[in-house]
């Protein structure tokens, strides 16, 4: 009994501790850093030039800073009575559309714009547990200057046409 | 000089079975939580009308009993009754364990427990809930220090200040817990200044009852320990007094409600027409939780019997749980009195009493509190000498 | 709040309105009402202007079998009917109130009252339930932990809890499982110059029983009507100071 105690205390426990440390170190060093993964998984940038600069000028800026921008927007979103920048996530997903054939995919699909990086990088996001992840034509989401930008107009018209066709098909059944 | 030896508990077969039961209760609760969180709370009996259900009633019971479990240690340290001193350590541990269990059950019932770090970094101090979080943390710290000091310097006078601090802090804590319900002006049934004192009184009786039961359980599992009722039947009188004090508070709450025209409808609901609520109140709390224990503790034929003390403690605990259910849930089921004196029709939320039927999942989540508390007590008592042996003369 | 005081002074000054003035006011309001209700409002003043958005519900115009406001709210905010009325989200509810003494029957919708002293704001442990500078009370779901204390605290049972996953969130009304929720006076719509969905639906249905506007602006129609009709608040004894006022029912 005494011997067993000694073995446990002087051999087994240190060995287990050392093993755990090595395993942790291995896991830490063996996984590729998130940025590298994100870079390989980078989805194509939307082609159109938009009113605001940061999409079209340098996608790297958004790729690096979108988390801070989102967090900053998030803290003031509910409280501010005037949202000067007026960027909502719903507006982001109205441009960043990934289609499955004709239909845009929602955040439940791993091909969704945000999921393309986030699933691969293993950084889970829960924005879309609450926010809509499908593009919208609701004027309450769009600010006037974005709504009026020619390219967005064309896209919105396309999307409206598609939803009307789907509704007609559904009604026709 | 009398000195007390403390020893660690032995994991006899019965103790191991107890440990396994506690672990299974905790695990079952966690599985129930997983089911509830992944599907959403619609799988429980809780609704928009009754947002706090059985799991919260049981968690509140644990928290209230936690404050009361410190009673025995307080009687020894604060009020100087040396007969209870050997049980101070166990009392301290039980208080910490029950609070941990109760808070854990609360945490897993949140709609978004993944937001716990948000909760711990954003405080709105007009909310009793937020203040309570700090008070519970303080309880862990103060009572933890009390326990450590008891272990380190058992005969020293340094224990007393920590004992007094713990006693005062648990009064603050129970006031906070009662205030969570008492400040709600929108729920007439629980909006009362007597809620904090009622919770303090309940904590005293329920805590002592639970402590007696835990000691009995330890003895049943084969531990050779000193007996609480070796304090010549004083425990009997103490428990009876505390039950009577709780009853007085409940009586005051209900009498004042009956006397107010505005509250009469609610009192009729909870005492006569509410279905399960009058049943639990009269049968559970009054008959089982007040009258029966008083008879078992005070009536001459039962006075000498240890079994009667244990039965009285068990009945008190069960009755206390029934009262907690009625106190927390009946005011939610009663419709909100938005149009005093008018007849309201059209939406069930405002017309009839809401129906609330607890589900097994909620029961399991509530049991997690007890399971975790049991695990902590058993494991800590295995590692730290807490169990008092019978006193020996020097 | 100085603007509040202005409003109070205005009320105190116009304590007695003769029937002639009332007729003119009513006639003018009736003529103007459709246009006022359906056109877009001017943009918000900045926060220093201390607007207080409110609703005025005229129970004399509300009818019992109409659910236009309820349906519009559900459609706008993505509140799906899952067949579980106890846990399904509903932010506005129609009730019929009968005075047993007089026999008078009134119909009205009840939604979040956007109280000045909101109980839900006081009891929220994280500050997720908040009152904006313009008076709207809503839940910041980024902070909500789903403890349901606000659901317990609301005297009007206006707050609810999202009991299940939101399959198709509305783009103007983010809501998700596990969070507390309630009427937010369609904040995203009003910030873009539209009316809350219930107001618009009631106007479209022809009843025009709900009026939206700035209670702190003495020149706004809603402020004038609150004064003219002596609009009352629900459970005024609780002193929660709601922004939603009711006309035509003895509260």
Rounded Cα distance between A23 and A18, Å, is 9
| Burial grade of B102 (CB within 10 A; 0-12, 13-18, 19 or more) | buried
pTM: 0.85
User: Is C61 in a helix, a strand, or coil?
Assistant: coil
In tens, the pLDDT along B187-223 reads 988 999 999 999 999 999 999 999 999 999 998 888 7
Q: Are C121 and C137 in contact (CB under 8 A)?
A: yes
Nearest CA in chain C to A75: C142
The Cα B84–Cα B231 span in angstroms is 8
Q: What are phi and psi of C166, to 5 degrees?
A: -90, 110
Q: Which of B2-11, C202-211, C212-221 has the lowest mean pLDDT?
A: B2-11
By percentage, how much of chain C surpasses pLDDT 90? 72
Cβ contact A81–C169 (<8 Å): no
Q: Which two tokens mark B46?
A: 């809780």
CB contact under 8 A, A78 and C130: yes
Is the CB of residue A128 less than 8 Å away from at least one CB of chain C?
yes
Min Cα distance B118 → chain C (Å) is: 6
- Comparing A137 with B141, which gets the higher pLDDT? B141
What is the full DSSP assignment across C186-227? THHHHTTTPPPHHHHHHHHTT---EEEEETT-TTSHHHHHHH
Are B129 and C125 contacting, i.e. CB atoms less than 8 angstroms apart?
Answer: yes
Structure tokens at C181: 């929720």
Q: Does B363 touch chain C (CB under 8 A)?
A: no
Residue entry with tokens 């019932």: B109
Mutate to test the interface with A, among C134, C171, C190 (most CBs of A within 10 A): C171
> Cα distance from C166 to chain A (closest Cα, Å)?
7
Enumerate the β-bridge partners of residue C181. Answer: C160
pLDDT tier for residue A159 given thresholds of 50, 70 and 90? low
Query: What pLDDT sits at residue A172?
Result: 62
* pLDDT the model gives residue C20: 55
Digit-coded pLDDT (tens) for B223-277: 777 676 654 478 888 999 999 999 999 999 999 999 999 999 999 999 999 999 9
The sign of the torsion formed by the CA atoms of B291, B292, B297, B302 equals positive
Residues of B in contact with C121 (CB under 8 A): 126
Q: What is the pLDDT of residues C230-251, one digit of tens each?
A: 999 999 999 999 999 999 988 7
Task: Give yes or no for residue B17 having a pLDDT over 70.
Answer: yes
pLDDT at C32: 46
Q: Which residue of B has its CA nearest to C159?
A: B48
Looking at CA atoms only, how far is residue A74 from chain C in angstroms?
7
In this structure, what are the phi and psi dihedrals at residue C44, rounded to the nearest 5 degrees? Answer: -65, 145
A162 close to C (CB below 8 A): no
Which site among A70, A74, A81 would you substitute to test the C interface, given the most C Cβ atoms closer than 10 Å to its Cβ? A81
DSSP assignment of B54-67 equals HHHHHHHHHHHHHH
Quote the CA–CA distance of C153 and C157 in Å, as a whole number.
8
User: Are the beta carbons of C169 and A128 separated by less than 8 Å?
Assistant: yes
CA gap A78, A92 in Å, rounded:
18
Residue A93's nearest CA partner among A147, A136, A36 is A136
Closest approach of C227 to chain A, Cα-based (Å)? 26
C 124-143: CB under 8 A from B: 124-128, 142-143
Which tokens go with B338? 């938005």
DSSP letter (8 states) at residue B282: I
């Amino acid at each position: 009994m005494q011997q067993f105690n000694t073995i446990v205390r002087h051999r087994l426990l240190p060995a287990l501790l050392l093993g755990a440390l090595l395993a942790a170190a291995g896991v830490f060093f063996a996984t590729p850093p998130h940025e590298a993964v994100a870079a390989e998984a980078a989805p194509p940038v939307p082609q159109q030039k938009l009113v605001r600069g940061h999409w079209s000028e340098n996608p790297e800026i958004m790729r690096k800073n979108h988390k801070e921008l989102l967090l900053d927007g998030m803290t003031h979103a509910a409280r501010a009575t005037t949202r000067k920048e007026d960027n909502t996530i719903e507006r982001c997903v109205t441009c960043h559309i990934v289609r499955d054939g004709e239909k845009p995919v929602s955040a439940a699909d791993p091909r969704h714009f945000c999921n393309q990086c986030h699933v691969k990088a293993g950084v889970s996001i829960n924005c879309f547990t609450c926010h809509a992840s499908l593009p919208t034509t609701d004027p309450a989401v769009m600010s006037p200057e974005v709504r009026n930008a020619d390219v967005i107009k064309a896209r919105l018209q396309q999307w409206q046409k598609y939803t009307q066709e789907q509704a007609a098909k559904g009604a026709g059944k | 000089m009398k000195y007390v030896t403390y020893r660690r508990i032995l994991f006899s077969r019965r103790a191991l079975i107890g440990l396994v039961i506690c672990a299974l209760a905790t695990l079952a609760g966690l599985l129930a939580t997983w089911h509830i969180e992944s599907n959403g709370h619609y799988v429980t009996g809780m609704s928009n009308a009754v947002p706090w259900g059985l799991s919260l009633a049981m968690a509140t019971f644990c928290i209230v009993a936690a404050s009361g479990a410190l009673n025995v240690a307080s009687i020894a340290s604060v009020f100087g009754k040396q007969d209870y001193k050997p049980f101070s350590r166990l009392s301290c541990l039980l208080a910490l364990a029950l609070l941990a269990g109760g808070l854990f059950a609360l945490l897993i019932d949140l709609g978004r427990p993944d937001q716990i770090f948000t909760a711990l970094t954003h405080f709105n101090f007009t909310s009793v809930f937020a203040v309570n979080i700090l008070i519970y943390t303080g309880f862990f710290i103060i009572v933890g220090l009390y326990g450590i000091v008891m272990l380190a310097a058992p005969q020293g006078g340094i224990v007393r200040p920590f004992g007094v601090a713990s006693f005062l802090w648990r009064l603050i804590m129970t006031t906070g817990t009662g205030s969570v319900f008492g400040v709600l002006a929108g729920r007439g049934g629980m909006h009362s200044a007597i809620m904090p004192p009622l919770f303090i009184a309940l904590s005293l009786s329920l805590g002592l009852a639970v402590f007696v039961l835990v000691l009995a359980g330890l003895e049943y599992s084969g531990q050779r320990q000193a007996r609480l009722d070796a304090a010549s039947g004083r425990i009997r009188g103490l428990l009876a007094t505390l039950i009577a004090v709780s009853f007085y508070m409940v009586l005051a709450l209900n009498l004042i409600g009956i006397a107010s025209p505005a509250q009469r409808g609610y009192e009729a609901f909870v005492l006569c027409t509410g279905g399960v609520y009058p049943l639990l109140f009269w049968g559970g709390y009054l008959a089982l939780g007040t009258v029966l224990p008083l008879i078992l503790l005070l009536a001459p034929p039962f006075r000498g019997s240890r079994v009667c003390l244990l039965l009285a403690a068990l009945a008190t605990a069960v009755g206390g749980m029934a009262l907690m259910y009625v106190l927390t849930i009946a005011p939610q089921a009663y419709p909100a009195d938005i149009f005093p004196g008018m007849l309201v029709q059209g939406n069930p939320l405002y017309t009839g009493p809401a129906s609330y039927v607890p589900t097994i999942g909620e029961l399991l989540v509530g049991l997690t509190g007890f399971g975790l508390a049991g695990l902590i007590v058993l494991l800590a008592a295995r590692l730290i000498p807490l169990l008092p042996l019978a006193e020996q003369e020097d | 709040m100085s603007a509040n005081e202005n409003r109070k002074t205005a009320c105190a000054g116009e304590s007695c309105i003769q029937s002639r003035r009332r007729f003119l006011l009513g006639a003018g309001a009736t003529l103007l009402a459709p246009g006022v209700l359906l056109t877009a409002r001017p943009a918000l003043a900045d926060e220093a202007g201390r607007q207080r958005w409110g609703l005025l519900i005229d129970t004399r115009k509300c009818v019992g079998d109409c659910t236009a406001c309820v349906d519009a709210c559900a459609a706008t905010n993505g509140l799906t009917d899952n067949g579980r009325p106890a846990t399904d989200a509903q932010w506005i509810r129609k009730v019929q109130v009968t005075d047993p003494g007089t026999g008078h029957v009134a119909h009205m919708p009840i939604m979040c009252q956007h109280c000045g002293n909101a109980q839900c704001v006081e009891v929220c442990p994280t500050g997720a339930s908040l009152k904006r500078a313009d008076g709207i009370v809503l839940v910041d779901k980024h902070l909500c932990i789903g403890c349901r204390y606000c659901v317990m605290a609301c005297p009007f049972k206006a707050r609810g809890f999202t009991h299940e996953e939101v399959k198709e969130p509305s783009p103007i009304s983010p809501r998700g499982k596990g969070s507390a929720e309630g009427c937010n006076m369609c904040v995203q719509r009003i910030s873009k110059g539209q009316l809350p969905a219930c107001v618009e639906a009631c106007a479209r249905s022809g009843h025009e029983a709900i009026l939206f506007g700035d209670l702190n602006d003495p020149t706004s129609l809603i402020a004038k009507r609150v004064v003219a009709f002596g609009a009352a608040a629900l459970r005024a004894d609780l002193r929660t100071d709601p922004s939603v006022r009711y006309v035509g029912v003895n509260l």
